[in-house]
Amino acid sequence: MTSVLIIENDRDSGPGRLLDWLDERGITPAVVRAWDGDPVPASVDGHAALILLGGGMLPDEDERSPWLPAERALLRAAHSRVPVLGICLGAQLLAHTFGGEVQGKYGQPEKGVTSLTVLPAAKDDVLLAGLPSTVLAVESHQDQITRLPDDAVLLMSSERCPNQMLRIGQSWGVQFHPEVEADRVRRWNPERLRSLGFDPDAVVADAERHAAELDKTWSAVVGRFLSLVG
């Protein structure tokens, strides 16, 4: 059976809806909980794709998260071999590893449902072709990619974060969270949201109100990614 390697970087940033979308296609998730001490594999041998999940650290905070050097090495080994999807920290790892720049607590934070602009380059992207000019996604970050690698293609932007989605070859990075559903948003710390300038009730209400639209958009986009898995 086909399997996809998934690296968890944080207890609170699990695969979420990805597991359902994998199951629908008969694909087995091989989840490595790096934050809990699982060793990060040196290669993607035996797996048809790699997904890197989010986390509250920067992509080079090796002292805080000592598995990150191995994760960057895995990303380099997987790039150009299998399709790669980096989510939030995973996208920042993609940018950082291939020559871009990521800065912590840069600009204004994004939390909850956010409008994204789909850029002209997305017209010919295998994951995004046919999307409308704006889509909604769930965000949860303060850090962001501030400079793209030279060979990266920028696919989406938002008002607060210009570099929302990039592609390098068959590796994609998204600053947002396609895997997060309203139930996880309900569990976000309300005091933390208030400290960042957000109304917790409004954040949850938006996630609930737009749940069907979010699922329709990102199940299709991630489904296209999974269709590349051979």
Write the pLDDT tens digit of every residue in 202-217: 999 999 999 999 999 9
Say how many CA atoms lie within 13 Å of 69 toward its Cβ: 4
Please report which confidence band the pLDDT of residue 230 belongs to, taking 50, 70 and 90 as the band edges: low
What is the arithmetic mean of pLDDT over 137-152? Answer: 98
d(CA 123, CA 105): 31
Q: Which residue has the tokens 């068959």?
A: 170
What is the arithmetic mean of pLDDT over 31-40? Answer: 98
Residues 6+ apart with CB under 8 A from 151: 98, 168, 169
CATH number at residue 114: 3.40.50.880
Query: What confidence score (pLDDT) does residue 36 get?
Result: 98
Domain tally for the chain?
Answer: 1
pLDDT of residue 43 exceeding 70, the answer is yes
pLDDT of residue 117 exceeding 80, the answer is yes
d(CA 196, CA 88): 18
| Cβ atoms of residues 98 and 169 within 8 Å | no
Active-site residue numbers? Answer: 88, 177, 179
Query: What confidence score (pLDDT) does residue 110 get?
Result: 98
- How far is residue 89 from each of residues 58, 60, 213, measured CA to CA in Å? 7, 10, 24
pLDDT of residue 155 exceeding 70, the answer is yes
- Domain that includes residue 149, residue range: 3-227
pTM greater than 0.85 (yes/no)? yes
pLDDT of residue 174 exceeding 80, the answer is yes
Please report which confidence band the pLDDT of residue 128 belongs to, taking 50, 70 and 90 as the band edges: very high
pLDDT of residue 73 exceeding 70, the answer is yes
What is the arithmetic mean of pLDDT over 42-57? Answer: 97
| Cβ atoms of residues 102 and 92 within 8 Å | yes
pLDDT of residue 1 exceeding 80, the answer is no
pLDDT of residue 148 exceeding 70, the answer is yes
| Cβ atoms of residues 77 and 42 within 8 Å | yes
